[in-house]
Amino acid sequence: MIPTNPRELEKLLKRMGIKVEEVDAAYVEIKLKNGEVLRINNPTVALMKMPNKMWIYQIQTAEGAVQKAAPAPQPQQTAEYQPNEEDIALIMEQTGATRDEAIKALVEAKGDLVQAAMKLLSQKRQ
């Protein structure tokens, strides 16, 4: 039988290795698969940390606190990746590529150093 007293319940969960924390949330948004967004205002949120490293969030609220909201705007990527001097120097050193080749490979790999180096090395072997 599950105890109804909050202190007894907390003791039982602690014995089971479950830690319960309160999350101070102003609101919670849930994006549904159909694209709609539910906004839950002033929720009571509990975080249960299970012994198997799984976290469970429990959200409680009054019936009228749930509303459909417009989806949050997605940040737009206006600029393409620009490699920094350290990355350029590292790729040049490791592959023997020129500065322009290193920059081009880094931009194409979107900053992935391993991918950029592998691309340049495979081109040199051909």
29 and 60 assigned to the same domain: yes
53 and 23 assigned to the same domain: yes
Each of the 126 residues of the chain gets a pLDDT tens digit; together they read 677 777 787 788 888 888 888 899 999 999 888 888 899 999 999 888 988 888 989 899 888 888 887 665 666 655 678 889 999 999 899 899 999 999 999 999 888 999 999 888 888 777
Full domain range(s) for residue 115: 85-125
- Domain finish residue from 23, 42, 69: 69
Count of domains in the chain? 2
Domain holding 92: CATH number? 1.10.8
Catalogue the E-assigned strands of the chain.
19-23, 27-31, 37-41, 44-49, 55-60, 66-69
pLDDT for 71: 61
State residue 52 phi and psi, 5-degree precision. Answer: -90, 20
pLDDT for 34: 83
